[in-house]
Chains A and B, each alone.
Chain A
Amino acid sequence: MSVFYFVAFLSVFFALMTIFTKNPVHSVLYLVITFFTFTVHYILLNAQFLAVVNFIVYMGAIMVLFLFVLMLLNLNKDTEPLKSNLVKFMGVIAGMCLVVTLAGSFRALESSESIILKDPDIGLVGNLGRVLFSEFLLPFEISSILLLTAMVGAVLLAKNDPKKA
């Protein structure tokens, strides 16, 4: 349990650092560390497959692309777009709304009974695959079609229009 609290503290700490740091590249690097702590959480929950996939997809692929874009844009103080006071004001109001919502949901929160899983090894890759391809076959296939659609859309957007070129 103490391991969980330590890792949870690190998650929250690095998530906050992601927001508070001024340099966008540092921000992305803190986000990478935050994702790494999530991976540790998954391992603590005995979900090895989810842990490794989180590691590969979020830390290995998506954050590299983020970093890639930020480095190419080379954002710094000189190129930062000036934010008008109106935008800042709206930001403050939106943030306050979020705080109120969060506080309200915390008040309504009751500590639930901890559920003991029937099968604690459900997160291991063999069991997970069996469940995905039997019990949850339809949602699994639908989500894969969704991903395929997104991919086709991305290719279509990136492709040059032959009429214009």
Chain B
Amino acid sequence: MESALLVEKTILVVAVFAITLVIAMYSTLVERKVAGFMQARFGPDRAGPFGILQPLCDGGKFFFKEEIIPAGAHKFLFIIGPAVAMFTACISSAVIPWGQELTIGDRVITLQVADINVGVLYIFGVVALGVYGIMIGGWASNNKYSLMGAVRAASQSISYEIGMGLSLIALLMVTGTLSLREIVAQQEGFVNWNIWVQPIGFLIFLVCAFAECNRVPFDLAECETELIGGYNVEYSSMKLAFYMFAEYINMFVSSSLMAALYFGGYNFPFMYDLGLSQNWITIIGVLVFFAKILAFIFFFMWIRWTIPRFRYDQLMRLGWKILIPLAVANIVLTGIITIVKDTYF
């Protein structure tokens, strides 16, 4: 029985890993296609039909490019930097519940790699760790622009982690559990989605997720006009690709978190009224979950081509003076509403 569990989990881990990488890979293409769509042009369309082979070409190009390690750089940390960024991006998907149970024969398979009872905190910890990749890489490059980019990334990420954590606390007050599986299971159907009870919290979480992923309008860490390229300016070939890849994986993971925490995860309207068997509900649920994730990824890209970059002081003011007080107010409001509901209804 133990070995069966091991095999099952291994398959699940490999599948999640592969799906994550493929989605991250094709996000690069989709990003350029969306950019083309927003700016009324075609985007890449040479490699294969609709440019579908473009990510493969880019990947191949990155592998064969010359690898340059600057003379003044700290060699070991210079290599470790992108590896840490990639590693932390990949491990955060371990606690996300991708679907309900799947019954094959007499085995019940849970579509989640690890159901730990502090799942939300685990995600939070891994996000906090993500900044090390950027900081180590930026410092090891021995370049002032890289260092500035790394320092900006670190302070930005620390500032927005607080807002993110506070917005999650309000959510946890409503759900009463830290396990992601239970949070998603509570949001059955459509009216139970957490977005209806925590709209302010979701908004704060969304803004903070943009900042944590270093996406426009918060991509101050790689602000070309001020910093040439930011923390990754000395990087070339596959190491640079790892940094970019980690960014896309982070985008995927935060999209799936938003879908799971606020938009019901694998739950869809009328899921138990259609008279489907459990396996079909699970399969449709997984597809629905991925549709929600892709919608969020599209939203990330939409914002990128809509809103210009913030100035650094504006970024800090938004984080500390607007989002954090708003999140605290949201916690107080949630507490009051909970008590009123418990006493009078």
Selected from A32, A49, A53, A55, the residue in CB contact (under 8 A) with B132 is A32
**A31 CB-CB contact with B under 8 Å:** no
- Number of chain B residues whose Cβ lies closer than 8 Å to a Cβ of chain A: 26
Q: Using Cβ atoms and an 8 Å threshold, which residues of chain B touch A56?
A: 121, 124-125, 128
Digitize B134-156: 1 where CB-to-A-CB distance is under 8 Å, 0 elsewhere. Answer: 01101100000001001100110
Selected from A48, A61, A65, A71, the residue in CB contact (under 8 A) with B117 is A48
Q: Using Cβ atoms and an 8 Å threshold, which residues of chain A touch B132?
A: 32, 64, 67
- Number of chain A residues whose Cβ lies closer than 8 Å to a Cβ of chain B: 21
- A52 & B125 in contact (Cβ 8 Å cutoff): yes
Among B127, B150, B178, chain A packs the most CB atoms within 10 A around the CB of B178
- B135 & A64 in contact (Cβ 8 Å cutoff): yes
Bound CA–CA A133/B154 (angstroms): 34
**B303 CB-CB contact with A under 8 Å:** no
Q: Using Cβ atoms and an 8 Å threshold, which residues of chain A touch B136?
A: 29
Bound CA–CA A60/B160 (angstroms): 13
Bound CA–CA A104/B340 (angstroms): 60
Given contacts A25-B139, A64-B135, A71-B139, contact A59 B154 (CB under 8 A): no
Bound CA–CA A68/B148 (angstroms): 11
Given contacts A29-B136, A55-B125, contact A124 B131 (CB under 8 A): no
**A72 CB-CB contact with B under 8 Å:** yes
- B121 & A71 in contact (Cβ 8 Å cutoff): no
B313 smallest CB distance to A (angstroms): 15
Q: Using Cβ atoms and an 8 Å threshold, which residues of chain B touch A126?
A: 117
Bound CA–CA A32/B132 (angstroms): 10
**B11 CB-CB contact with A under 8 Å:** no
User: Taking beta carbons and an 8 Å cutoff, which residues of B are in contact with A?
Assistant: 77, 116-118, 121-122, 124-125, 127-129, 131-132, 135-136, 138-139, 147, 150-151, 154-155, 157-158, 161, 178
- A68 & B151 in contact (Cβ 8 Å cutoff): yes
User: Taking beta carbons and an 8 Å cutoff, which residues of A are in contact with B?
Assistant: 25, 29, 32, 48-49, 52-53, 55-56, 59-61, 64-65, 67-68, 71-72, 124-126
Bound CA–CA A53/B155 (angstroms): 20
Bound CA–CA A21/B116 (angstroms): 36
Q: Using Cβ atoms and an 8 Å threshold, which residues of chain A touch B150?
A: 71
- A124 & B128 in contact (Cβ 8 Å cutoff): no
Q: Using Cβ atoms and an 8 Å threshold, which residues of chain A touch B139?
A: 25, 67, 71
Those 4 A-B pairs whose CB atoms lie nearest each other, nearest first: A60-B128, A55-B125, A52-B121, A56-B125
Bound CA–CA A153/B116 (angstroms): 37
- B129 & A125 in contact (Cβ 8 Å cutoff): no
- A124 & B117 in contact (Cβ 8 Å cutoff): yes
B110 smallest CB distance to A (angstroms): 19
- A61 & B128 in contact (Cβ 8 Å cutoff): yes
Q: Using Cβ atoms and an 8 Å threshold, which residues of chain A touch B77?
A: 29
Given contacts A60-B125, A60-B128, A64-B131, contact A48 B151 (CB under 8 A): no
Q: Using Cβ atoms and an 8 Å threshold, which residues of chain A touch B155?
A: 68
Given contacts A56-B124, A64-B135, contact A72 B129 (CB under 8 A): no
Selected from A25, A53, A59, A67, the residue in CB contact (under 8 A) with B129 is A59
